[in-house]
């Protein structure tokens, strides 16, 4: 995919990092199919470009994913890079998050990317080439307070992506999971990407109020630059050599290094007991 124009198909391109990814791909000379719930809003966010096609897409609707894929192929003839970027954040402690909220979280963050990927993969298999890039989160590697539903959806994406690569390698299709730390995206915009818990339980009330205020204060203050991340993704894609995972941001790298050290210490602490569980040992 290096040194030639590719066709990018990007979800969640009407706001946040999706806009930056679309603009970075266009700036690099690629064609872009930018999708969001409202195609006109996507176009207004990204700006007119001769190599841009905007398509309305609700990723939770499999039929809409099929229609958007067909529109992309009709316009550009192929799809080389799929970026599963769309997502949202149902924040809260597990008991405060309603069953309906948790299921909605999984529908958008997990089943949504599956719907779109299922629609796009037949195109890539025919080509015998392509890239599937899925934006997960550091919350897909490390559980965090107030993130029970969100982390569950992102951990699910991580497992799916790690296994999907074995399915697709024989067809020349590569995969990469992207785990951003805290970036100045719209993820923490309440009522838009962030949804607070529906249920109230007295035992959690004080912690919930304090945590919500902390999250609100963090919005717009995150250290990561989404435009730089977008350019990094284009660089990795153009290189043709995708890593299995790309941990994005200094805070993300530091958190994962600490997490790996903790895991190693737990392995060392229980190595003898674990080894003794082998049959006949």
Which member of 90, 93, 150, 204 is catalytic? Answer: 150
Question: What pairs with residue 224 in β-bridges?
Answer: 183
**Beta carbons within 8 Å of 179's beta carbon, 6+ residues apart:** 136, 137, 138, 140, 141, 245, 246, 247, 248, 252, 256
90 included as an active-site residue: no
SS3 content of the chain, % helix, strand, coil (to 5): 55, 15, 30
Element (H, E) at 115: helix 112-127
Apex CA 234: angle with CA 231 and CA 236, to 5°?
110
Give the position of tokens 């993130």.
Answer: 147
Distance between CA 182 and CA 86 in Å, rounded? 16
Q: Name the residues annotated as catalytic.
A: 150
């Amino acid at each position: 995919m290096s040194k030639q124009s590719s066709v990018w198909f990007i979800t969640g391109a009407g706001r946040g990092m999706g806009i930056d990814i679309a603009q970075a791909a266009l700036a690099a000379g690629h064609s872009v199919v930018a999708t969001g719930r409202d195609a006109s809003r996507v176009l207004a966010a990204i700006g007119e470009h001769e190599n841009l096609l905007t398509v309305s897409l609700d990723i939770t609707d499999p039929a809409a994913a099929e229609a958007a894929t067909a529109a992309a192929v009709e316009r550009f003839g192929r799809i080389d890079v799929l970026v599963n970027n769309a997502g949202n954040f149902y924040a809260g402690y597990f008991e405060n998050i309603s069953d309906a909220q948790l299921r909605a979280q999984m529908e958008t963050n997990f089943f949504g990317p599956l719907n779109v990927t299922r629609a796009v993969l037949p195109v890539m298999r025919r080509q015998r080439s392509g890239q599937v890039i899925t934006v997960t989160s550091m919350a897909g590697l490390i559980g965090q307070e107030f993130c029970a539903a969100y982390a569950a959806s992102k951990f699910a994406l991580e497992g799916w992506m790690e296994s999907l690569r074995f399915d697709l390698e024989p067809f020349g299709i590569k995969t990469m999971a992207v785990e951003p730390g805290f970036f100045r995206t719209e993820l923490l915009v309440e009522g838009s990407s962030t949804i607070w818990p529906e249920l109230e339980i007295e035992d959690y009330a004080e912690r919930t109020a304090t945590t919500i205020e902390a999250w609100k204060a963090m919005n717009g203050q995150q250290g990561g630059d989404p435009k730089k991340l977008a350019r990094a993704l284009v660089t990795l894609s153009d290189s043709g050599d995708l890593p299995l995972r790309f941990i994005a941001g200094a805070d993300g790298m530091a958190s994962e290094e600490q997490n790996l050290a903790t895991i190693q210490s737990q392995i060392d602490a229980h190595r003898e007991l674990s080894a003794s569980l082998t049959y006949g040992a």
